[in-house]
Amino acid sequence: MVVGGGAHSFRERLRAATARAHERLDDRISSFDLGEPDAYRAFLIMHSAVLPPLEAGIARACADAPELDLAARSRTSALTADLETMGARPAAPLPVAEPASLAEALGALYVLEGSRLGAQILIRRVRASGDARVRAATAFLEHGSPDLWRSFLDAASSYVVDEDALCAASDGALSAFGAFHLACSQYFPLPVKDERARV
Ligand code: HEM
């Protein structure tokens, strides 16, 4: 069944499917002050465990969709530069699920591209940090031109046009969020006071 609505429908479906997963991630990351060097270093290391393998899997599954311009979207180099600025080494890549279809890959790419929206908020604290290295390590959070989100939604919604594809894209997005949750649990633990609150 073909679903009407284009970019709006694609975005609404994926946003609804991943709202809870996004909230959990947002809560965890927002519980840290990214202006603090240790927290910011952990934030970057956490990303280094999942961003490169997610980008690589998406690139393999989207090889026949050059208009996505994945080279312009990749933030692995920016992340590597920020880790160097912070004097940190990348984490070993976590095993992330390989997208089984273009639609699944577009769901995973929705998560990566959407994270640029959150980055616009996170960057405020980083820019205001009292630590010069933190203020200098903004290539990842500042990466890309503002039209990347809109062009992604337009391209993705031209491929994800039926119910099966929307379901596959939602699966791909949830899987990508799952990879971020796993990386957070390994590299971005909750502050001690929050851990105590959970006992
Ligand atoms: C690795 C971490 C994160 C990932 C993967 C992620 C992912 C996403 C995705 C997929 C969207 C698009 C949702 C939509 O369709 O509107 C989004 C939007 C957004 N995120 Fe995040 N996010 C992350 C962290 C954060 C954090 C920590 C915050 C809060 C400080 C945040 C705040 C937002 C905001 C404000 C939007 C814009 C919503 C809108 O314009 O409708 N995100 N994020």
24 CA distance to ligand 1 centroid (A)?
Answer: 11
Domain assignment of residue 198, yes or no: no
Torsional sign, CA 100, 101, 107, 111: positive
| Chain centre distance of CA 2 | 28
| Chain centre distance of CA 193 | 27
Token duo for residue 34 = 């990214």
DSSP symbol at 141? T
Domain assignment of residue 197, yes or no: no
Per the prediction, the chain carries an average pLDDT of 93
- Number of domains comprising the chain: 1
Q: Which of 74, 97, 67, 59 is closest to 159 using CA atoms?
A: 67
User: What are the helix (H) ranges across 62-143?
Assistant: 70-73, 76-85, 102-127, 132-136
Question: Rounded CA gap, 90 and 93, in Å?
Answer: 8
pLDDT at 153 over 70: yes
| Model pLDDT for residues 158-171, shown as the tens digit of each residue | 999 999 999 999 99
pLDDT at 6 over 80: no
Domain assignment of residue 28, yes or no: yes
- Per cent of the chain over pLDDT 70 is 92
Give the count of beta carbons closer than 10 Å to the beta carbon of residue 156. 27
128 CA distance to ligand 1 centroid (A)?
Answer: 20
Q: Write out residues with Cβ below 6 Å of ligand 1.
A: 11, 15, 22, 25-26, 29-30, 110-111, 114-115, 117-118, 121-122, 180
pLDDT at 191 over 90: no
Domain of 163, CATH number, reads 1.20.910.10
Domain assignment of residue 171, yes or no: yes
Domain assignment of residue 196, yes or no: no
Q: Apex CA 85: angle with CA 56 and CA 122, to 5°?
A: 70
| Model pLDDT for residues 73-110, shown as the tens digit of each residue | 999 999 999 999 999 999 999 999 999 999 999 999 99
Question: Rounded CA gap, 122 and 33, in Å?
Answer: 9
**CA distances in angstroms from 122 to 7, 23, 35, 119, 141, listed in the order given:** 26, 15, 9, 5, 8
Domain assignment of residue 1, yes or no: no
User: Counting Cβ atoms within 10 Å, is residue 47 exposed (0-12), middle (13-18) or buried (19+)?
Assistant: buried
178 CA distance to ligand 1 centroid (A)?
Answer: 15
pLDDT band (50, 70, 90) for residue 45: very high
- Per cent of the chain over pLDDT 90 is 90
User: Quick one: pLDDT at residue 3?
Assistant: 60
User: Model's pTM, two decimal places?
Assistant: 0.92
Nearest residue (CA) to ligand 1, atom 31:
118
Q: Write out the residue range of the structural domain in which residue 15 sits.
A: 6-191
Question: Rounded CA gap, 2 and 187, in Å?
Answer: 41
Domain assignment of residue 112, yes or no: yes
18 or 195: which carries more pLDDT confidence?
18
- Our mutation pick for probing the ligand 1 site, out of 11, 75, 117, counting the most ligand atoms within 8 A of Cβ, is 117
22 CA distance to ligand 1 centroid (A)?
Answer: 7
User: Quick one: pLDDT at residue 189?
Assistant: 81
pLDDT band (50, 70, 90) for residue 1: low
Beta-bridged to residue 149, according to DSSP, are: none
Domain assignment of residue 157, yes or no: yes
pLDDT band (50, 70, 90) for residue 4: low
